[in-house]
A and B are shown apart, each in its own frame.
Chain A
Amino acid sequence: MAVKSETRRITAKDYRVDQPIDWCPGCGDFGILSALQQALARLGLEPHRVAIVGGIGCSGKSQYHIGAYGVHTLHGRLLPYATGIKLANPELTVVAVGGDGDGMAIGAGHFVNAGRRNVNMTYILFNNEVYGLTKGQASPTLPLGLQTKSLPEPNAQGRVNSLMLALSAGFTWIGRGYAFNVRQLVGLMQKAIEHPGLAYLDVLQPCPTYNNLHNKDWYAGKDRGDRPRVYALDDEDYDPVIAEGADEETVVAKMGQVIGKAMEWGDRIATGVFLENRNVSTFEERLGSRSPSYHKHAPALRPIADAEGRSLADLSDLFAQTSVTRKPGGEA
């Protein structure tokens, strides 16, 4: 969810940074970056209310080119950093951006456990099936048996289906975009950010340098008479929404629908919103029901000392509970 600027119009320019970009020409990352800048602007978010949290790899460099708070973290750890930032200051819009090696290999445990929490933030996975920055090794999203150009042998390990993993982990918004369809991507990013819960946006991102198999031409279906492989769920009769209070049967049916679409690959690759589940509480709500003062003063914003630096915490009750000296009158 996003906190909008009340005072002035925000444009994509506000999010641009005057810094040279060192991605290879033709890299899908450019489209994703541009889409993200536009989406943030369209949502009217003030840059200082936005934190972009990057992983390690080519994609993780995106945050240097966005004029908000940018946090370039450790390989695979972007989601715990993002979680800490968001829980401590829920007023921030937090978007994590990372690659498939980062998120599905070294960070897979964090991905799964982030799903369990459903913190209100967005994770955009730049999915190119290879480790770009280390020169093209197979990533966990490269299908078994494929041999992209840096591989000495065909890929001997299977492919993880990140959409299904997101579903089983508990992400409450799941979508997929394509790096060369920026228009659609902007819309998807807006929806993902506005979704009140944890959103996972998988972006098919051609890496012209190392993934010679699933490149722009392949997605466009150049090899099969220009019939594009990528299609939009919007063009079909597909309803991703699980409404608040939905019954068990509906939930099961909707989840099944996500699996069906997520398993499509090769000839038909779906893009769009796969799931929008409004039936799960956010972690912030759960924290607030434990301790209502969480909503009043988030960890980053809670006063802890008076003007003289004296602690505001009143521990006298805790001391009373552990006080064992017998008081006159006989009570322990």
Chain B
Amino acid sequence: MKVSSARWKSRLDGTIPDQLAQEIDAFELEIELRLQDKVDEKIFAETRLRRGAYGQRYDNGQRFDGTETRQLAYPEKSSKGPGTIWDAPGMLRIKIPYGGMNPEQLEVLADLAEEYSDGIAHVTTRQDFQLHFIHIEDTPTLMRRLAAVGITTREACGNSVRNVTACPFAGVCTDQAFDVTPYAHALAMFLLGHPDAQNFGRKFKPTFSGCAQHSCGLTAMHDLGYTAVTRVVDGEEQRGFRFVVGGGLGAVPDQAKLFDEFLPPEEMLPIAQAIARVFGRHGEKKNRSRARMKFLIRNWGMEKFKEEVLKERQSLPDDPRWTEYLDGVADDVETPLKPAGDFPTVTGNEAYDRWFSTNLREQRQEGYVTVSVALPLGDLTPDQLRALADIVRRFTNGTVRTTVEQNMVIRWVSKSDVFDLFEALTGAGIGEPGAGNILDIVTCPGTDTCKLGISSSRGLTAELRSRLAKKSFEMDEAISNLHIKVSGCFNSCGQHHVSDIGFYGVNRIVNGYQVPHFQVVLGGQWEENGGSYGLPIVAIASKRIPEALDRITDYYLRMRQKNERFTQFVTRVGKGQIRQVLDDLTKNRPDHDDDPSFYSDWGDPREYSTGDVGIGECAGEVVSAYQFAMTDAERMVFEAQLFLDAGNVQGAGTEAYRAMVRAAKALVQIKYDDVADDADEVVEEFRDRYYDTKLIFDPFAGGKFANYLFAAHSKVGATFTSDTARHAIEEGQLFIEAVHGCYNRMRTAGLSESTEMS
């Protein structure tokens, strides 16, 4: 053990709750045992994940350096899990239930970011913090230092109940039914380490929202979504929750389904426990890609799911914790430090005016506002965290929260302090304007640190931000109010489905080279708790995304009807029309030698690669045939969307299926030129040549995407609903991406067409 780790351990002895201290000690021991090879690597991997210690890009010991894949010569050859080298740095995810923090916690986080990570604390889209480039031996010390100020990393990752999120404005929002904070806190504490929540096949995400109309809680995309509602019975107001279940983003998003219009608070915890038991018992365990709760609900239907849960609820032994917390529930538990006031008069300060126009929000309590601290890409330095702690202490009673838009919100600021607070924030480099507007782009880690990243979501976001920063305050309000969200791959951690304009990373072959691309996703809705999901319309090279964004926003500005919101506009003009505006961006790509930068990603000068691929070795007739077929398949899946937009759900579902068959045929043709058009034959050949051989298997998702084809093929002729047609389109698009991925891997492995066909 490092000298400083031993010192922290003895210094913090007695300051950490016993249970937590024992768990951290046990984890420390497991680290030791794993090093001695006395714990299986798979078991250790899940153990560390449940402790919040996650893998990070290149921890398999390989890195493509722009010319070739090189081995990173880590000295310790043991592993932290399958394919994960012991010495490779990783990420630590730190749970912040409902985003609630205090200044002492900010300071500890600052010290940890400085001493153990790369000097940046990152706010995630689940109101967590993440620290990167952490060494596994240091994690128990980080956990102890966090635990000493009431923070845990437990169950931040792995197949567990993830951070319970909630509106950062809960308790102070003008539109809330009531303050959801104590309920979110109670659920988080109840489920943390609960024996009934340890046996899941996948993660499980709860959230709370104070109202239905705004986006703060995003209940529609959660496994458990609680929206505060009230009703009057016999003249008395009662609190409850509109309770939805089984939502989720991920590759194929699902809107959560209604479980109960009015779930009384006394039933909130027992029903959550019953759901955890049902999900633990009946949820998929083997096939990770179908293990989220939404699949159980899809398989069973909502009626059966609810029936099982209610049956389980009846069988639960009473637990006093179900209602104990209700005694302490009261609104306005937070108090202000300063008396309520009025805004000071400030003239001639353009920076202040901009910041004031975007970063402030009136509280329900007269004379107070909340102040959003806009964090570029969700990042903060240790000095900024300490400055923020000072500011929060100076102006409030220590009330600050993280947000799912990767910002911080300071609550209970007296209006009379607003200018002083602005100056304090600006002095610390965190007084940027634009919170919640087009500049405030949400992004996942992408290829910077995520093992699954395909394109550089952070690189693109930084580029878009720097371009938009120059003009966002001259823009028409219709544009500046748009939301943009970026994910590095289809997994949707950047929540691209619930933004006006979303992007997710994919790759394409151009002139024989891999080129990073982003799918442009339009029509999602951030408001109404993520009320509808967008669909991809076209893949565009990363370096052309800024141009694509300009075109989309210009087109919207020119063609919108009075007060027409972006989602309404997309529905009215149709995605086909918008796609035409972008069409030439998918063509006339520069030759590699003329513009090599086109073949690399934003913020990364290396020639782009999704794996360890050699370049430019594959060309000729068969490639053209493949590309031709894939262009067809992409067109067909897009047409499916147009059908869906036009209300033709049957046509949409059928066309999405046909697109999959077309893409499957593109691959089959590489090995078997004479394959017929008949879908049965294509699917059979595809299964034989690509599924049974595992060639189509994604390194992380396995055969999941091919199974979409098989499932669709087995259901030919079935009737589609708008939900199932939408799923068919999403699955069609993902299957096409999987075909692209397979093709790229084959090229890399030298299984080029000519070799295979000879």
- Do the two shown chains form a genuine complex with each other? no
Q: Which residues in B have some Cβ–Cβ distance to A below 8 Å?
A: none
